[in-house]
Amino acid sequence: MEKNNLITMANQIGAFFKSYPDKEQATKDIAGHLNKFWPPVMRKKIVEIISSEDFKSEEMNQMVLDAIKKYLKH
């Protein structure tokens, strides 16, 4: 799957959880959603994307980025 598509999809998930008052719980729930609904190949790819030298953190919702770094199973 293309980099921009995965980032867009991840940011859409983050937008849904943005209104949660407990940001740490929202971060866990974002990771839970990714772990439940994204197949391993997509999770692996998003980790590769955020780990690449050309990735700019401003491309991704901060809660999504935190969720991937802290809780994503890949």
Helices (H), the chain: 3-17, 23-37, 40-51, 62-71
What does the alpha-carbon distance between residue 25 and residue 47 come to, in Å, rounded to a whole number?
21
What does the alpha-carbon distance between residue 58 and residue 41 come to, in Å, rounded to a whole number?
24
Query: Per-residue confidence of the chain (74 residues) as pLDDT tens digits?
Result: 799 999 999 999 999 999 999 999 999 999 999 999 999 999 999 999 999 999 999 999 999 999 999 998 87
What does the alpha-carbon distance between residue 55 and residue 18 come to, in Å, rounded to a whole number?
22
Note the pLDDT of residue 73: 84
What does the alpha-carbon distance between residue 51 and residue 33 come to, in Å, rounded to a whole number?
20
Note the pLDDT of residue 16: 97
